[in-house]
Structure 1
């Protein structure tokens, strides 16, 4: 176990060896697959980090069931695995010792922070949708999916981060931030999602610019540009920026020791939209990322703010 992980678990008062192993597994998933989130989480007080790692680790574990390109199981078989995961999670939340270390960690986090179990149900409902739904016509249709896949993650995070206002006041911005992150992912990963047979960008929004699945697939395969795709993606980037604007006031509603973390994630993830624009929306054939030096430039001042907030607390 890395020294940093050990220190975080000690700070959180997590002593049981099996739980420590579960939280460490979640931390490794976050460090490997969620570099931006992991960097932002480092700005939290050490004792709060394991809970964030547990929530990320669970989300990643469930997502892999439906998104692993090497998994040749049928949609029905994947849906059955999600059903089995939900049953295991319900038992874990009820206090039965789960076999999987990720479930042990997330159940412990749910108990520590009195997390609403309905959010986990909604999340798994969206994961189940990924086994059968391959596109969404409108933003209203997509809203049901992103509520479970993204908005509830923001809602689950609120008790961990803490608020300076009644929590219900912070729920709207927290949910909006989760949705903004998710749609940013859709824009960044549109090519990879095509490989999985899915188009998350609303098809009616695309059609307004003369874009359909066939054109997106052709652009990805040939690495050719098309002005219709450029205009459609520019429109959707602008739409996503508006969601970030709705989410931003929520940062000030968080406890001071948590603001630097969320502000860092906000800035870096919104920066992906900047990278998409800088590439002139030619992103179907490659995955844009925020450069390491940019992440460091954002995280450095954030660390200073986090240390000041902790000292005052």
Structure 2
């Protein structure tokens, strides 16, 4: 994206270089996230890239091939970097561009940096190999790794002056994060199983005869795998419906960013619902042209208006 001189004139060269590094990381690794943040003005886009780059660092530690004790030590080191940012100890000439960019973003926007501590806590759960008996248990994990990202992002977006029920915006941002994470869990069922991870609640797996797990391209013998997927899809849709109440509280471009990211995941959910066993054969994804279409719809406000009309219809019943 082209920046104007006015957008950059109050940002030092070292900080701009740090942001450029974070934007490169985001563009290279954030397949869905990047489509949304392209719609933001430069200061917000840069801040979101800094948040993504730090979050990516945390996720990469959790997903790596290192021994658990090494992962734990590196997560502790990353938390120490976050403490340094909070305490104002990161200088512009620091050799860690992610820390430099995030420190600047936290000065420009009221970002609740504690959300990144929650993200680290969630990755620690992964390192420990935790599993979840119930949806209530899984929600704790989802709130750490995704709900917190929603609340962090809201710190960058802000809410429109005079927005109704703006005090509930963090709650809706958190719920939208849960919707995205549950969609991720459905999409990555086989990949996670091959890595020794199971996220779906044990109660749900037992209910549909899927407790044996997912080690291949076919569901467990005698299971109702489509029933399990459709059950979780309905749960995710309910979370999306609740979380989308955030959109009317945001300015146009921030709302477009959220609508684009959430819209991509909702379309993924549609594909998974139509062919549940596809998630066992490989990763379900959208082509780039469809992601671009969703982004354009978000910028035009179509999704926000649809959500608004849907809210009105629910209230009228």
> So what's the TM-score if we normalise by structure 1?
0.87
Contact 2:252-2:301 at 8 Å conserved across structures: no
Map of 2:145 onto structure 1: 149
Give 2:87's match in structure 1, choosing from 70, 94, 101. Answer: 94
Closer, same or farther: CA 79–14 of 1 in aligned 2, 3 Å:
farther
Aligned length: 294
- State the shift of 1:167 in Å: 4.5
Q: Does 1:241 align with 2:234?
A: no
Contact 2:219-2:280 at 8 Å conserved across structures: no
Map of 1:297 onto structure 2: 293
Map of 2:180 onto structure 1: 181
Contact 1:122-1:152 at 8 Å conserved across structures: yes
Q: Does 1:131 align with 2:106?
A: no
Contact 1:51-1:160 at 8 Å conserved across structures: yes
Separation in structure 2 between the aligned mates of residue 7 and residue 269 of structure 1, nearest angstrom: 29
Contact 2:55-2:116 at 8 Å conserved across structures: no
Which stretches of structure 1, 4 residues or more, deviate above 3 A after TM superposition? Answer: 301-306
Map of 2:203 onto structure 1: 204
Alpha-carbon RMSD? 2.1
Segments of structure 1 that go 5 or more residues without pairing to the other structure are 307-313
What secondary structure sits across from 1:114 in the alignment? Answer: coil
Contact 2:85-2:103 at 8 Å conserved across structures: yes
Per-residue CA deviations over 1:22-41 (Å, capped at 9, x if unaligned) read 21222122212222211111
Closer, same or farther: CA 293–225 of 1 in aligned 2, 3 Å:
same
Separation in structure 1 between the aligned mates of residue 297 and residue 139 of structure 2, nearest angstrom: 34
Map of 2:214 onto structure 1: 216
- State the shift of 1:215 in Å: 3.6
Per-residue CA deviations over 1:212-240 (Å, capped at 9, x if unaligned) read 1x3412xx2xx224552221111111111
Separation in structure 1 between the aligned mates of residue 71 and residue 30 of structure 2, nearest angstrom: 23
> So what's the TM-score if we normalise by structure 2?
0.86
Contact 2:122-2:144 at 8 Å conserved across structures: yes
